[in-house]
Chains A and B, each alone.
Chain A
């Protein structure tokens, strides 16, 4: 194809028009041709989507009708926006303010009323430039992020560890900053910050996303403004614009999830170990969360939905968008495949920042061992012991978190993470997939910690967290985690527990559910992703945010070693994160748990806390524990600035964990939105 006439831009700009109305399509096509654009028409959204996916750089802007038979225009808009980050212009004969508002809220660059006039089409090139320009800016700022994440070895752990304490935030931050800065300097990927022509966008890696979610959780979804989020995240190189656009997507995602759930049955096929699971059907995330079970199916369904795949019966309670998201993220999908969507990435990435997903509650239903799990899902009873479990929960939390973040990809990512199985835990490696398998989020460690609920949840959750197995819906914003927990749970039979039962602000749900030895194993899987969401069991408590897997690593180590005292600490930190992303800033997390002190290492993992690198988060936890090997997840963490690629920012597909299968099922990088850009991009 002839090279784009960039110098004559917008001449030759590649436009894709999607509309089931042949008359309109014909007229628009001619108009676009007369504007000297390179127009392609498509009457089916599904075809358009595959065209876009196959040919990532093939189009500059998309014009799509709102009402289409095979796919809702808004859905297409979201998918394109998330996966490809292309400007999308909506079009409709409906000129009502509500409709237009909806379009804008879903992220449309513009909304044209039919009949579209030539003059309007002549201006659409502005959207392309605008997007590219702001993308470049983002890239510029975040270029360093990538490296930092990646190279953030365990050293950070130490640093973080010391500052894990509440009061240490500042020091930690400064430490991190320093490190980051160094990294930044050395790494700027694109090499040329001043180059503005085509800068890769910020890649929202799992970790980065986790941090984001944590920050949002901390602030409260309603009050989360980009500036504050940016501050909380404290990621060098990240700009307010990056955060703003990500936040917008996130919100849309949450909404979509909520809607999706609302429309979905609640098939939680997996019998939740606890009765709570059953309640899932009631679209009540809170309940779900409480029960600590986000039916894997729900997540799976959510994931499917996100990925555009037919959702299996995932029924996510629609109760709360955010919670839904979490759930989705958790990948409660009972189905192996689906789970991967969210959980997988996490899992794979073990090193990934998936830790961000507060895996706290892997498969809610999972904790078979804790029959009474729901309640004690979090094992609240025994905080320390929960460490082991925490992992699971954490993972799940993380997953959730991750899930939340990215509508489609998230699910996949989170699923993986859940697989972290503590050594003792019998979680089948594929458990990730299993979210679904896990019987249902029995664990629910925290099914979805709904971050929205209270930004302060992390902190507010008393360590005693009672077995709040289910994510305390109200309290824990972590509800998001709920979803993630499922993931873990799914895989592990053991109670994810996450230890905290939910208080963990950081995911460390010490809830006792933590499967004592088992829990640990979960973590180990290397996926540290699971960050100890011990809470996963319904962390409810606060698994907030997904603790990034990092903690899992550390946890695993700790678990591996048996009872690491740190575990508990870890868990706590993790649980904090468990919140599916809603974790409040890492700093908060640490502050919240005294136990965390030990967990310094984990603190890091908590993910958000270190901007550094999502990848490092896992690793950092290792430091404390003995430094978990860098699973290499780091890579996935965020490639900021990697240029790349990864159009679908939320795709997690790079997870190398065993759950790979899951991720593949999702569709191989191509299909799965690569949230974190892991899909092979690393």
Chain B
């Protein structure tokens, strides 16, 4: 198998994610934390992130419905999500979180709704891309996963 090719593909995919703004520097910091002691750390964190953020997004959706115009509450919910996004480096999602909070501050319900939809989209996109990326890494072999691909 052409591991080096797979690794190159993975590297290129990752680069794309960065270039498109899906990921930011924080993701690199997370990658740096991966080592022999924690060889799959990045993927583990990503799994954790998507699971938790999925839950937070759905809570937020419910809150938007159940507590109309309760901007403080919405803002509080979003605060959590924003923290999560920033911890893994989910850059676009984080931007949407900030827009949402801005809209809360302005009391703009439509704005909030709009941001939430975008957020969900970004969430889905990122999840899909990262899943592909990790899969590629796994295929590329342990070496590929353990080392930081050249970006």
Which residues of A does B touch, CB under 8 Å? 19-24, 26-27, 30-31, 33-34, 65, 67, 92-94, 114-115, 117-118
Given known A21-B52, A30-B41, contact A114–B88 (CB-CB < 8 A): no
**How far apart are B15's CB and chain A's nearest CB, in angstroms?**
21
Over the window 72-94 of chain B, the binary record of Cβ atoms lying under 8 Å from chain A Cβ atoms (1 yes, 0 no) is: 00001001101110111100000
B29 in contact with A21 (CB, 8 Å): no
B82 in contact with A93 (CB, 8 Å): yes
Where chain B touches its partner, the secondary structure class is: helix
CB-defined contacts of B49 to chain A, threshold 8 Å: 23
CB-defined contacts of A117 to chain B, threshold 8 Å: 29
CB-defined contacts of B88 to chain A, threshold 8 Å: 23, 27
Given known A26-B45, A30-B41, A115-B89, contact A67–B79 (CB-CB < 8 A): yes
Partner of B83, one of A26, A30, A34, A93: A93
Among the interface residues A20, A114, A115, A117, which one has the most CB atoms of the partner chain B within 10 A? A115
A67 in contact with B29 (CB, 8 Å): no
The docked-state distance in angstroms from the alpha carbon of A199 to that of B52 is 44
The docked-state distance in angstroms from the alpha carbon of A372 to that of B76 is 49
Partner of B45, one of A23, A34, A93: A23
A27 in contact with B87 (CB, 8 Å): yes
Partner of A21, one of B38, B44, B76, B83: B83
Over the window 57-70 of chain B, the binary record of Cβ atoms lying under 8 Å from chain A Cβ atoms (1 yes, 0 no) is: 00000000000000
- The 4 nearest A-B residue pairs measured at CB: A93-B83, A24-B87, A30-B33, A23-B49
**How far apart are A100's CB and chain B's nearest CB, in angstroms?**
15
B80 in contact with A114 (CB, 8 Å): no
B29 in contact with A114 (CB, 8 Å): no
**How far apart are A633's CB and chain B's nearest CB, in angstroms?**
45
- In the complex, the chain A residue whose C-beta lies closest to that of B53 is A23
B86 in contact with A114 (CB, 8 Å): yes
CB-defined contacts of B146 to chain A, threshold 8 Å: none
The docked-state distance in angstroms from the alpha carbon of A117 to that of B48 is 19
Given known A22-B48, A23-B48, A118-B29, contact A65–B41 (CB-CB < 8 A): no
CB-defined contacts of A118 to chain B, threshold 8 Å: 29, 32
CB-defined contacts of A31 to chain B, threshold 8 Å: 29, 33
B30 interface contact, C-beta 8 A:
yes
**How far apart are A39's CB and chain B's nearest CB, in angstroms?**
12
11 A-B pairs besides A21-B84, A24-B84, A114-B83 with CB distance below 8 A are: A19-B83, A21-B87, A23-B45, A23-B88, A30-B41, A33-B37, A34-B33, A67-B80, A67-B83, A92-B83, A115-B87
**How far apart are A440's CB and chain B's nearest CB, in angstroms?**
34
A-B contact pairs, 19 of them (CB 8 A): A21-B87, A23-B45, A23-B88, A24-B87, A26-B44, A26-B45, A26-B48, A27-B29, A27-B30, A27-B87, A31-B29, A67-B80, A93-B86, A114-B83, A114-B86, A114-B87, A115-B86, A115-B87, A118-B29
CB-defined contacts of A67 to chain B, threshold 8 Å: 76, 79-80, 83
**How far apart are A20's CB and chain B's nearest CB, in angstroms?**
7
**How far apart are A33's CB and chain B's nearest CB, in angstroms?**
8
Over the window 11-43 of chain B, the binary record of Cβ atoms lying under 8 Å from chain A Cβ atoms (1 yes, 0 no) is: 000000000000000100110110001100100
- In the complex, the chain A residue whose C-beta lies closest to that of B52 is A22
- In the complex, the chain A residue whose C-beta lies closest to that of B89 is A115
The docked-state distance in angstroms from the alpha carbon of A26 to that of B46 is 10
Among the interface residues B52, B83, B84, B88, which one has the most CB atoms of the partner chain A within 10 A? B83
Partner of B79, one of A24, A94, A115: A94
The docked-state distance in angstroms from the alpha carbon of A587 to that of B52 is 60
B44 in contact with A23 (CB, 8 Å): no
CB-defined contacts of A21 to chain B, threshold 8 Å: 52, 80, 83-84, 87
Partner of A27, one of B33, B37, B53, B79: B33
**How far apart are B56's CB and chain A's nearest CB, in angstroms?**
9
The docked-state distance in angstroms from the alpha carbon of A115 to that of B88 is 8
Given known A21-B87, A23-B45, A27-B45, contact A115–B26 (CB-CB < 8 A): yes
The docked-state distance in angstroms from the alpha carbon of A31 to that of B80 is 20
- In the complex, the chain B residue whose C-beta lies closest to that of A19 is B83
**How far apart are A115's CB and chain B's nearest CB, in angstroms?**
4
- In the complex, the chain A residue whose C-beta lies closest to that of B56 is A21
